[in-house]
Amino acid sequence: MKNYYIIDFDSTFTQVEALDELARISLEGSPDQEKVYKEIERFTNLAMEGKISFREALAGRIALLKANKSHLQLLIKHLKKKVSKSFDRNREFFKQNSDTAWIVSGGFKEFIIPVVSPYGIKEENIYANTFKFDKEGNIIGYDDTNPLSNEGGKVQLLKDLNIQGRIFGIGDGYSDFQLKESGLIEKFFAFTENISRKSVTDKADHVTPSFDEFLYVNHLPSAISYPKNRILCLIVGDVPEISAHILKRDGFSIRIKDTFEEKYTKDVGMLLLGNGIQISNEQLSRADKLKTLGYLGDVKGYVSRTLCAQKGIVIFDDKKEKQTNAEFVPRRMADFINNGDTDQSRNFPHLILPKKLKGHRLLHIHKNVPGILAKINNIYADNHINILSQFLMTRGDLGYVVTDIDANYDKKLIKQLKEIENSIKFRILYKQ
């Protein structure tokens, strides 16, 4: 049986609620702008939480909008910049599943189609409401014969479509959960990258903080090898709020603590420390999943740079102790996790890498001894791997090789690369 993916638009495919954003555009300059906007937002939230009917919320919002076709064009430009990051980076998924990846929304085709079509989603697979306009192009209502304008509209639509296959629902609101209640879909995934509604997450089969997570748990091809929401980022000590915000916005799972608690040692993937925080060698030696450590001050004397190098942990610190580096350090940590960059690291060779959009990026950290690169490339050759680009830098006792390859390889390749003598750490950065 085919898999079908029923994806919501507002606050799922995009970061925002489109009608709320349309209100901001159409009401700009009005003395009642904020008051009316808050009322529209209230209707949205009540409907998403299942506290009022969808039709009641839709009619209430449309009546307050005072919008026209010119406002819709501005909205479309805005929404194209507000596509959820995890959907945007997985464009390839939609191209490969163009027949079975569908948008089903209580929003409106007039703005949904222009936003999702560039991702390869077919227009015939976009189900949404449509506006009614007067002769001057003002929005005066909507097509109330469309099942999606009704309470339970998504359920009715799927009944009418009678899809023969396994259906997975992805969304943030009560109307998305109703698909699960109806028994029409295999699983419901509550999407929380943009907003988390307890009334929805409590009833979901799985809470997915990103589209990467959805692809990962369903064993589907993804743009990245491992969902960032599964990487534990521990923030310890006196760390400015902006530092935590940068890492949280990037999708990492954040924990903020006064001390490096023992229970996090085996699982921490990123560690950001406030000035004056010291980490013992004993604890650091057991942090086997730790990939990068940031220090908001001079790390010397607080964390062993030698031990971090031996374990393949990249350090970024703030030797000049400038407040602006409350942003610099977490951004460098994120750039290493996302792209493999080690520029301005305290203990690693400095590499600035081109952004990789397709294929695989493989990171190999090793002891700086002769012959490692030859061994790596012999393995690629034996496995008939096409190398697209390769970067090698060394620093002291440490070597760092980044290899971009095409999208086809056998699992034995990864095992062979990990087993090279003098290897320290190996990561797959991209999977497509």
324-349 pLDDT, tens digit each: 578 999 999 999 999 999 999 999 99
- The pLDDT score that the predictor gives to residue 37 is 85
- The pLDDT score that the predictor gives to residue 322 is 56
Q: Are 7 and 103 in contact (CB under 8 A)?
A: yes
Pick from 367, 389, 377: nearest CA to 413: 377
Residue 211, amino acid: F
Specify the residue for token string 């509604």. 197
pLDDT in tens, 216-240: 999 998 888 899 999 999 999 999 9
How far apart CA 393 and CA 316 sit, in angstroms, is 17
**Tokens representing residue 59 in the block:** 């009619």
Instruction: Give every residue of the chain whose pLDDT is below 50, as ranges.
Output: none
- The pLDDT score that the predictor gives to residue 32 is 85
How far apart CA 292 and CA 347 sit, in angstroms, is 11
- The pLDDT score that the predictor gives to residue 114 is 98
